[in-house]
Every structure is written in structure tokens, then in C-alpha cells.
Structure 1
Amino acid sequence: MIRPADPRDLISLPAVEVAAGKIFEDVGMPEIALDVPPSLTWLGGFQRAGQLWVATDDAGEPAAYCAVELIGANAHIAQVSVHPRLAGRRIGAALIDTVGDWAETQGLDGLSLTTFRDVPWNAPYYARLGFRELPEGEWSPELRSVVDRETAQGLDPAARVVMMKPL
């Protein structure tokens, strides 16, 4: 089940992020697997803004989430993570569909995100969901700021890609 996150969900989400990050070890990216999970403060900001959704497991516990920020006329997917025990069930796709539906009701133009270019469950996956690579010349100043922030946090911009999906 996918629903807007409530404050009680927040405590579970860092563990989802840690579990989801571990699979980056399999593609030679241990530094991503060891990345610090999002803080409750960061998650709470999205939750209070109504821009955080969770997917729950059979026990009703959050097992995936998607956090969205507004960037220009787009809903920017700041983070989407699915616990590996639920991999292959299209939960990430369902979360993104939910965000797309929400963005349409807000009158937004599209969904944007940044992700790893060559990780199979990143850019290739999002391309299958209808996202396309956005050439640097088409980046808005706000998207440029996202990439700059990621670079300052140690992510190699050559390994990253900005993607967009019109609504």
C-alpha cells in the first residue's frame, strides 16, 4: 500500500535507506553503501510539506519511500528507496506513479531526478519508466544547484545524470 507518510513512519525510513544502499556494494560502489542515511529532520521536512510517500509491507510497516521537492515547475524526486526484500515487485515504479499523479494535481509540468548513469536500477530503470536524460544545456538553474550540491557532497558528476519525465 502506498500512502502519504505520517510522523510515525519517519523512524523506519533510515533503516530502509541503509538496506537499499547495501546493494551498491555489488556494483563496486561501497562508498554509497556506507553513506549516512537521511536524518529524521530532513525526512520530517518532506513529511510536513506533504511531499513524502511510503509503501508498506504486508505487516503495514514502511518498506519503501519517495521524497519530493519542488524545483521550478517540476516535482524533483530527491530520494526513492526500496528495501531489497521487496525488490522486483514494482514498488519503486508505483511510488513514482503516485508522485506523478500528485504532481499532475499540483499543476506541475514533470518529474525530475538525478541518478547514477550506469547503475542498472538507476538511469536504465528510470528510462524504462519514461524518464529521458536531460542535456546540461536544458538544466534549469534549480537543477544546476542540485547537481552542484551533489558534487559538493562527493558525487562524481561524470557518473551522474539528470533525467526528466513530462507529465
Structure 2
Amino acid sequence: MDVRIRPMRDEDAPDLVRVSLAADTMFADAGVELPPDDPRTLLAHAERVLVAAGTDGRPCGLAATVTVDGLPHLEQIAVDPDHGRRGVGSALLAAVCAEAAARGHERLTLTTFRDLPWNGPWYLARGFAPLPRALWGPELARLWESEAPIRVRPRLVMARRTR
């Protein structure tokens, strides 16, 4: 799929809410019951949101990042399932890593479900590895604890080099 990765614009918000909610249906389809989520909270909280826009210019994916322990942390990648399995998520991840490297960061962290194919195994195939708890900073440990309500399946912290 031909997509362009760009920073979020204010007018993207409604489409990104739609994308995030559509992506969440994959969890329900897999029998995973997550607590209700309002994507607008993520969009407001994220320090950086990158958008994957199709040839029509309309958003079909997003990557949201924050800073945790002084390093970039991937809060979420979401791709509209109608555009899934076409490299949109990989393009977003590559852009996040490139931006982090350009800002001088050597590592990117995230938390994810360990066994869902589009979570832990997907990130593992793209260079991430489980990050042992001994290497977590205090903010990452607090983030892990704050995610307790969504630990409806095994989760893990992962990291990868950006370069």
C-alpha cells in the first residue's frame, strides 16, 4: 500500500479516532475484552502523533509516542483493519524509529500483549526484544503499574535500538 507518513494535523483527529476504534475491533474479534477506551485521550496525551495517509490523503493509521525515562516510548500503533497487512504499521514504526534516532535516542520502548500476533510477535519480528525489569527506569515501572486494568492477557515491556 502506498502511504505517506506525516505529523498529525488538528483536522486529522476525527479520522484518527475512527482508525483507533476500528483497530480495537481486532481485540474483540480475538476474544480479548479491553476496558472502554477514548482515543481522544491518547491523541491529547501523546507528545508526537504520526499519521499514515493513503493516496487519498485520508488517515489509515497512527503512531503515538511519549517520553518515558528520557527515551521515546511507543504508546500505540493503530491501523484501520481495512488497510491492514499492507505495511502501514511497519512504515509507521520505521518513521518513529527514524525520528527517535534523529533526535539522538538509541532506544525505543513499548508495552504490548505478549502473544497476540499483531502485538508481541509482530514487534519481535521488527527488532524488539523483551526488556528485563532490572533495566526499567522509574517512569517505565510506573507506566507498567498504571496499565494493570488492561492486563487481561499476558503483557510485556519491549525495547529496540533505533539505529
Q: Determine if the TM-score, normalized by the shorter chain, exceeds 0.5.
A: yes
Is the contact between residue 19 and residue 79 of structure 2 (CA under 8 Å) also seen in structure 1?
Answer: yes
Mapped pair 1:128 → 2:125:
yes
The corresponding residue for 1:163 is 158
Instruction: Kindly report which structure 2 residues correspond to 1:30-109, keeping only aligned pairs within 5 A, or say none.
Output: 31-32=33-34, 35-39=36-40, 42-46=42-46, 49=47, 51-109=48-106
**Normalised TM-score (structure 2):** 0.90
Q: What is the CA distance between 1:76 and its match in structure 2? A: 0.2
Give the secondary-structure state (helix, strand or coil) at the position aligned to 1:36.
Answer: coil
Alpha-carbon offset, residue 73 of structure 1: 3.6
Q: What is the match of residue 10 of structure 2?
A: 7
What is the CA–CA distance in structure 2 between the aligned matches of 1:158 and 1:15, rounded to whole Å?
Answer: 25
Match of residue 22 from structure 1: 25
Q: Give the Å deviation of 1:79.
A: 1.1
User: Which runs of no fewer than 5 residues in structure 1 stay unpaired?
Assistant: none
Cα 1:114–1:101 shift into 2, 3 Å: same
TM-score using structure 1 length: 0.88
Shift of 1:157: 7.6
Residue of structure 2 aligned with 1:111, choices 108, 113, 121: 108
Matching residue of 1:144: 141
Distance 1:42 1:121 in 2: 20
> Structure 2: how far apart are the matches of 1:58 and 1:42?
25
Q: Distance in 1 between matches of 2:81 and 2:42?
A: 22
Specify every segment of 5 or more residues in structure 2 that has no aligned partner in the other structure, as ranges: none
Q: State how far apart, in whole Å, the 1-side matches of 2:110 and 2:69 are.
A: 13
8 Å CA contact 2:74–2:110 kept in 1: the answer is yes
Paired residues, number: 159
Contact 1:2/1:54 (8 A) holds in 2: yes
Give the 3-state SS of the residue equivalent to 1:164 in structure 2.
Answer: strand
Q: Which has the higher helix share?
A: 1
Tell me if structure 1 keeps the 8 A contact 2:21–2:39.
no
Q: Percent identity of the aligned residues?
A: 35
Q: CA RMSD in A?
A: 1.6
**Aligned CA distance change for structure 1 residues 165 and 157 (closer, same or farther; 3 Å):** farther
8 Å contact kept, 1:17–1:37:
no
Partners of 2:106 and 2:53 in 1: CA distance: 28
CA distance in 2, matches of 1:142, 1:78: 14
Q: Distance in 2 between matches of 1:148 and 1:81?
A: 22
